[in-house]
Chains A and B, each alone.
Chain A
């Protein structure tokens, strides 16, 4: 898999591809006046029709990885909305398109509002759920006066006079829809929303902890995707002139859409359009020339071949060689200091983080049991304890990765309990994972710049990239900027975790065993790096088993055992504490 190709700079009008694109659109729009046979108009209509459906599907499913098999439901809702309003209520056809899109979006938003809250409904379960929704909607439509069984005829509905002939008018409507869909898909692709969706695709939990508002982003993408499908359905109702449940809500629409997108490439905004053109041409020319049966079989066989031999799709395959070069930006600028002023480590000012009676249970196992502790600005606090004592759980709960079962967390006087993880990240807390969890399909640079955009720093894209380069310098990863995380060794992956945490410009950094698995030389480098992080003004809580590092770094340590806090204080005295010794070594035999 290749990383998403280089993201063009923002700004629609100044984009170098704007002029050719505008010319191409103008040419396509002028076609009906050039006297083409109607055959071509209906072919071009179908290309535009499938482009809207496939590209809109990709906005949720390709970008975020939530494969929907329910696109037929939203398409069908739009189709029936237009058919009902135009044929039964006598609305002018063009006016029916807005309600068609709106109703489809509403259904999508209502569904998403429920489904996106259930963590386990991802991957194939989401696909099946949306498929099931299709059949429920179909049954309701079939059994209510919307259809009632016989279908809806649109023979009496006047085709809007846009082009010289009815078939050209339909084509122009679909063309307008396709252009709008492509523009929206491109805009989302290059915007924060698109970057966030690609992060959700790679690792949704991490994306949330890094500051991506995953729930809202998925909902926006789903709503947009459904609205466009509804629009395509509305136009298609007039194209087919006879709308039936069996022809509308079957499995063909979702599967064709998935096929087109996968064939074209789901990691690019235009991939599904390429697929739509390819499959529609295949269909059309097979059904026109050869036996339609052979055409269907060929489409099935092509699907199998593409998945096996070209899993990233046509566009992904073509773009693979054009992977963006790591641009060595001028790095003379100093690494920015964290926003807060440097406080003396020993200064007992108001605590930065105040934890009171924090508890976390997993099905009866108390991983954290009434833990209370304070973290003061500018200090390095070591969090110690035997395996399973609750150290990582503490970090997971404070960062919002897991919800707390009870207790209070205050950060700079603000209550964190119950906040979604992305809000916690935005408020100035960043963390690393014990086992590095980079976004697998993004380059090292993109991994870091994403956090600069979504974390506490909340920068725009260009500034985020500049900062990301500086954090790569800081962690010594500049040479690897263009690499995928898979190409890094453990040491580099750990430092990538650090760079990501720092790019958020947090006031509090939670480090979960950044040193485990490193060689003694690498540990020395890391200790030096952590010191430098603190010198820039961040406060650090770190979980560590490497005692040499704890002694070298920690101003103060707390010790957890079985989820309880058993000791707190300067390193030397805590290490002599009898309860701590017992927790690590067991009770002395002669006691």
Chain B
């Protein structure tokens, strides 16, 4: 174990914040569905990668600017989310079974992605990839910064929507007590469809960010599950800002662990945090 230089440490913290923003963005849709719809949606990770590959395909094969895919992929995924929710509601799937079903869907999606794009590594090369600038002695890569801006912007937007719009208030009421909410005239079925659509669209946005910052391979789908779950549970189910904050805490602590110890120790941070939260603050997660 060697102590890194201050500059390296600061650079690590910065990259931790960036990766944490991505954790938060992926966790946002997952946590909303978990907290408000009582679904543990592993298909979210399938959608994440599908979004990433679609963005990669549009950018490298069709030559579309990756940021323009933001206008195409999320609406498409919204429709997918609505259809899936309609099916889950139709069969009255319990929270635990939703985990199993969406795992099955994720496996099918993984196979489909591999069938189309093969198991080889794919990298979205665009004019953003190499863009970076320096602040003092720190490098700031533009794709990562874009992810951070999107992640924070969307989280704040959703937080405000949940708090101040009628739709958001209705959703919170529904999550609190669905039968009572229904008795006060809230259309539970319709709201669930909209919410599931939004969550799927968020997976699409996160996928685009993933494609901008990471090299893709289908087998990586489940590698993200653990750390994102940790961010969601630390941040609180159904919370808009929580996963982002928790994601950054995890990202920074991982980055510091990598710099101080070795990169292979990094996973222990998020999972130990998750275990501790589960054991000592389980009520916070249930809420």
State the A residues within 8 Å of B (CB). Answer: 67, 114-115, 118, 120-121, 123-125, 127-129, 131-133, 135-136, 138-140, 142-143, 149, 250-251, 255, 258-259, 262, 293-294, 296-297, 299-304, 307-308, 311
Contacts and interface: CB of A to CB of B under 8 A. Distances in A.
Given A296-B107, A297-B108, A139 B268 contact: yes
Given A67-B96, A118-B278, A303-B104, 4 more contacts: A250-B222, A251-B222, A303-B100, A308-B91
A362 to B, nearest CB: 14
Interface string B270-286: 01101100110011011
Contacts of A127: 96, 99
29 contacts: A67-B96, A118-B282, A120-B282, A120-B283, A120-B286, A121-B278, A121-B279, A123-B95, A124-B40, A125-B286, A128-B229, A132-B226, A135-B267, A136-B271, A138-B267, A139-B268, A142-B264, A143-B262, A293-B114, A294-B111, A296-B110, A299-B107, A300-B103, A300-B108, A301-B104, A303-B104, A304-B101, A304-B105, A304-B108
Interface string B23-52: 000000000000000001000000000000
Given A67-B96, A300-B105, A300-B107, A135 B226 contact: yes
A-B pairs, 9 with minimum CB distance: A300-B107, A120-B282, A303-B104, A297-B111, A304-B104, A300-B108, A132-B271, A300-B104, A139-B268
B278 A307 contact: no
A114 B103 CA distance: 29
Contacts of A311: 97
A136 B103 CA distance: 22
B265 interface: yes
A132 B100 contact: no
A139 B278 contact: no
Interface string B250-272: 00000000000010110110011
B239 to A, nearest CB: 17
Contacts of B272: 136
Given A120-B282, A294-B111, A297-B111, A303 B96 contact: no
Contacts of A296: 107, 110-111
B112 A297 contact: yes
B254 to A, nearest CB: 11
A580 to B, nearest CB: 35
B40 A129 contact: no
B135 interface: no
A301 B268 contact: no
A167 to B, nearest CB: 28
A73 to B, nearest CB: 11
A150 to B, nearest CB: 12
Interface string B106-124: 1110111011000000000
A139 B279 contact: no
Nearest to B232: A128
Which one of B111, B112, B229 has the highest number of Cβ atoms from chain A below 10 Å of its Cβ?
A: B111
Contacts of B110: 296, 300
B93 interface: yes
Contact of A255 (B103, B112, B114, B226): B103
B99 A124 contact: yes
Given A139-B265, A300-B106, A304-B105, A132 B274 contact: yes
A300 B262 CA distance: 36
A224 to B, nearest CB: 23
Contacts of A118: 278-279, 282
